[in-house]
Structure 1
Amino acid sequence: MRARSFAGAENGIVSGWPQILLRLEGLSVLIASSVSYAWYGGSWWLFAALFFLPDLSMAGYLAGRRTGAASYNLVHWYVLPLACITWAVLAQSTSFLNVGLIWAAHIGFDRGLGYGLKYPEGFGVSHLGLMGKAKRSAKRAHRL
Structure 2
Amino acid sequence: MSTTAIPESAIPGSAVPESAAPAPATPPPGVVTGRPLAWLRAEGLAVAAAALVLFAGTGQPWWLVPALFLAPDLAALGYLAGPKIGAWCYNLAHTAPLPLALAAAGTWWDSAALTVAGAIGLLHLGVDRLAKYGVKYDHSFGATHLGLHGPDRP
TM-score of the two chains, using structure 1 as the length reference: 0.81
Which digits, 9 at most, give the CA deviation of each residue in 1:51-75, with x for residues without a partner? 1011011112222221211111111
| CA RMSD after TM alignment | 1.7
Q: Does 1:50 align with 2:68?
A: yes
Q: CA deviation at 1:40?
A: 3.5
Aligned partners of 1:49 and 1:100: how far apart in 2? 14
Partner of 1:79: 97
Aligned partners of 1:93 and 1:56: how far apart in 2? 22
Q: CA deviation at 1:28?
A: 1.2
Letter in 2 for 1:62: L
Partner of 2:27: 7
Q: CA deviation at 1:131?
A: 1.8
Q: Comparing 15-24 with 39-48, which one deviates more in the overlay?
A: 39-48
Q: 2:150 aligns with which of 126, 132, 137?
A: 132
Q: CA deviation at 1:112?
A: 1.0
Which digits, 9 at most, give the CA deviation of each residue in 1:83-134, with x for residues without a partner? 1111122212222111111111111111111110000221111011122222
Q: 1:89 aligns with which of 107, 130, 134?
A: 107
Aligned residues: 129
Q: Does 1:100 align with 2:118?
A: yes
Aligned partners of 2:139 and 2:83: how far apart in 1? 7
Runs of 4 or more consecutive aligned structure 1 residues displaced over 6 Å after TM superposition: none
Unaligned runs of at least 5 residues, structure 2: 1-25
Identity %: 43
Question: Which structure has more helix as a fraction of its residues?
Answer: 1
Partner of 2:82: 64
Unaligned runs of at least 5 residues, structure 1: 1-5, 137-144
